[in-house]
């Protein structure tokens, strides 16, 4: 059976990653969390004390950064490795969330990450979630989903995720962070967050993860049927 590229775009904390991981596992596809890649760059810049306006140093840093994903056999998680070191938990910290949108608007950062993402998905059979997969990274993706949800619900989901890692953050702070990220992601000049014309809208406010996964799998079945690949 010919394999597809499944692009899942949308706002933060809508369930993109959870849904994408589940779909990838069920289809035996590769999974790439592109947002984690931008978080890794943000982490590297912060730890290297490189200002987000220092383009020459950022350009050099991008040559020093190696990003990969490995599946943790014990937990089943797909974890990010930065220069060979597992930094999955570090990139999920609130301090990274507060800065990642500023880093992701830098053109040279986006160009570098998009090139890596296109290489990762070059052989198809991949589920990618992010902000610009269906518009910039894989505009020819056979399945495109655009996810959204009410901001307060997104904030509560994010608050629960942080609490599980021992980071307690007031809900108001998370709502403010999400609104800031939404604005920056949607208004940036380079690959802004937007729904591709052929992407199907999925509002996750009142549905379960299982329903989200089923929704995507239905679109996959439709794509395979339409192309005569089933």
CA distance 204 to 224: 24
Q: Do residues 9 and 195 make contact, with C-beta atoms less than 8 angstroms apart?
A: yes
Annotated binding site, which residues? 10-18
Please report, in range form, the residues annotated as the binding site for ATP.
10-18
- DSSP annotation string for 126-141: EEEEESSIIIII-TT-
Outline where 126-201 has alpha helix (H).
151-164, 171-187
Name which of 109, 120, 152 is nearest 14 in CA terms.
152
The total number of residues written for the chain in this structure: 230
């Amino acid at each position: 059976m010919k394999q597809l590229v499944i692009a899942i775009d949308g706002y933060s904390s809508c369930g993109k990653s959870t849904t994408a991981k589940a779909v990838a596992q069920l289809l035996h596809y590769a999974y790439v969390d592109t947002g984690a890649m931008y978080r890794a760059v943000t982490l590297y810049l912060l730890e290297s004390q490189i200002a987000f306006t220092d383009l020459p140093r950022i350009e050099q840093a991008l040559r020093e950064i190696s990003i990969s994903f490995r599946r943790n056999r014990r937990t089943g998680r797909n974890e990010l490795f930065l220069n060979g070191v597992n930094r999955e938990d570090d990139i999920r910290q609130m301090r990274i969330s507060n800065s990642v949108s500023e880093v992701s608007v830098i053109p040279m950062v986006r160009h570098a990450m998009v090139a890596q993402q296109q290489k990762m998905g070059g052989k198809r059979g991949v589920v990618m979630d992010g902000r610009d997969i269906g518009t910039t990274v894989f505009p020819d993706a056979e399945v495109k989903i655009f996810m959204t949800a009410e901001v307060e619900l997104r904030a509560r989901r994010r608050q629960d995720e942080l609490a599980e890692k021992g980071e307690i953050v007031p809900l108001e702070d998370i709502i403010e962070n999400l609104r800031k990220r939404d604005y920056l992601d949607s208004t940036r000049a380079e690959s802004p967050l937007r729904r591709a014309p052929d992407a199907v809208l999925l509002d996750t406010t009142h549905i379960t993860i299982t329903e989200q996964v089923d929704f995507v799998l239905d679109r996959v079945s439709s794509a395979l049927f339409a192309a005569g690949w089933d």
